[in-house]
Amino acid sequence: MRGLGSIRPKLSLRTLGVMIAGYAAFLQLYTTQPLLPLLKEEFHTDEVAVSLTITLASLGVAFGAPLAGTIADRIGRKKVIVASAFLVAFISIPAAFAHTLGWLNVWRFLQGVCTPGVFSVTVAYVNDEWPRLEVGRGVSYYISGTVLGGFSGRTMSGLVAHYLPWRDVFLVVGALNLICAFAVWRMLPDDQSTIRTSIPWDRWLHAAGSHLRNRSLLSTYVVGFCVLFSLVGTYTYITFRLSEPPFSFPPSVLGAIFFTYVIGALLTPLAGRGVDRYGHRATLTVGIVSGICGVAITLLPWVWTIAIGLTLCCAGVFAAQAATNSFIGVTAKENRALASGLYAAFYHTGGSVGAAVPGYFYQAGGWPACAGFIAAVQTLTICIALRFWSGGREPEEHAQLGEVD
């Protein structure tokens, strides 16, 4: 009994450490979304220019994802997780004092580069260090942390900017990131698994080329691109609509609209059961159609209908994400870690482009034009899946990628 008592607290701390790592990874990634109207006014520029604070952070994630995994294979998982968490926190300091939009974008890009060292390596850490029967539970705690981090980073940003200068958002979020980094350092046990040497670059390139030549996998990467494109584009430019007449909401209220993000995330388990029962294409189709309906509902001129529309958008995106994650698991017969890494790169590149390109439609025709463009991308997503994905249910092992924004 004494032995069991000594083990349980360690397991509890380890699980909490994984959850905090997920929280820290997504705490800062989209903090500028509620700040976009303020940044537009501060730097005397337009919607597309200030959206680069999100575009470049997401692009940094896509750039850093393959590097983080390679470095972690060489020096160990925990070292990379902790070092990356501290770097994300410290980069918030120069970001807070950036006097030009260009310099703010530089620091946001660097934060993005460091972020995969927390979120993608944490998933690998759980798979390596957890007992096999507990991996699913460990990943679920991690995903819960990412949802809480993505939500609280946005809402905290709006609240802080309502009472303090917007630059203080980076200091507050950076301080919280620093606390999380210390907690992860103390709570996560050191790696027990043998450190694996990364595969040679020529073999890596050959394996990557093989995945990209697989039409089913390539189409899944494109679907992932479109999925995050739609979500980031929706939430980035709906903030401009709500900050303008007739709503004219302050940053605190703009941050609060991200509560719909949490509601949508809570519906994700239903998508997992949908994949098991009805197959990947059916689940993806239902999810994307839900997103299209949600975007359409946001065109109505009432706050409560916009909230319902955003909730449907989130639920649809998370359902689509469950379908794509699972589909990679049953399609990639080898080098699944690489297949997951390529998916992450496409996925976050989609978020990067989604933060910028819809802005041109917003400038040309306001939110209706922007929403129409996003709905067109979502329709394209369904067409790609119906054309290149096999239907039905696949009872094989599903892979868990742990990608939630």
pLDDT at 373: 97
Band of pLDDT at residue 399, cut at 50, 70 and 90: very low
pLDDT of 364: 94
Of 15-19, 282-286, 393-397, which gets the smallest average pLDDT?
393-397
Dist CA 260 CA 11 (whole Å): 32
Q: Which residues contact 116 (CB under 8 A, 6 or more apart)?
A: 61, 64, 65, 67, 68, 69, 84, 344
Separation between Cα atoms, residue 380 and residue 69, nearest integer Å: 31
Q: Which of 27-41, 82-96, 324-338, 384-398 has the highest mean pLDDT?
A: 82-96
Say which residues have a Cβ less than 8 Å from residue 175's Cβ, sequence separation at least 6. 89
User: Average pLDDT, whole number, for the chain?
Assistant: 83
Gap between the Cα atoms of 170 and 315, Å rounded: 29
- What is the average per-residue pLDDT within 61-81? 83
By CB neighbour count within 10 A (0-12 exposed, 13-18 middle, 19+ buried), where does 302 fall?
A: exposed
The model's pLDDT over 305-322, given as tens digits with 9 standing for 90+, comes to 999 999 999 888 878 877
In the predicted structure, residue 368 carries a pLDDT above the cut 80: yes
Q: Which of 18-27, 198-207, 274-283 shows the lowest per-residue confidence on average (mean pLDDT)?
A: 198-207
173-197 mean pLDDT: 84
> How far does Cα 379 stand from its chain's mean position?
21
Domains and CATH numbers, the chain: 11-190 (1.20.1250.20), 199-405 (1.20.1250.20)
pTM for this predicted structure: 0.80
Out of 246-250, 302-306, 307-311, 389-393, least confident range: 389-393
| pLDDT, greater one: 192 or 356 | 356
